[in-house]
Amino acid sequence: NAGVTQTPKFQVLKTGQSMTLQCAQDMNHEYMSWYRQDPGMGLRLIHYSVGAGITDQGEVPNGYNVSRSTTEDFPLRLLSAAPSQTSVYFCASSTIGRPQHFGDGTRLSIL
């Protein structure tokens, strides 16, 4: 049972480039979410989804897009990367009402 899988684990981008962070879970969880972790800031919610076809914004959604076409996958897209988006990104999933399972994170650096 793989749990929550995030790819890539590390990525370096140039300002203005676009990319997609992948997140997949094999636990049939309805709820999936993306957080970013910055030094001294804790984790902050970017976007979340309560099921396939349903997404909503979290606390810091600007500059990011998401979609949920399947229960298993919840990719996070950076449309035009900015240095302010340098961070560690975590994907999480859960069954409604149960504790969330986190992926191992993606460290993203934008030059």
Partner 1 sequence: AQTVTQSQPEMSVQEAETVTLSCTYDTSESDYYLFWYKQPPSRQMILVIRQEAYKQQNATENRFSVNFQKAAKSFSLKISDSQLGDAAMYFCAYRSAMGGSEKLVFGKGMKLTVNP
For partner 1, the closer of residues 3 and 17 by Cβ is 3
CA distance 93 to 38: 20
Q: How far is the CB of 80 from partner 1 (least distance, A)?
A: 26
CA distance 39 to 64: 20
Instruction: Determine if 74 is a binding residue for partner 1 (CB under 8 A).
Output: no
Report the phi/psi class of residue 17: left, alpha or beta, with left for phi > 0 and alpha for psi in -120 to 50: beta
Residues that bind partner 1 (CB under 8 A): 31, 33, 35, 40-45, 48, 50, 58, 88, 90, 92, 94, 96-97, 99-100, 102, 104-105, 107
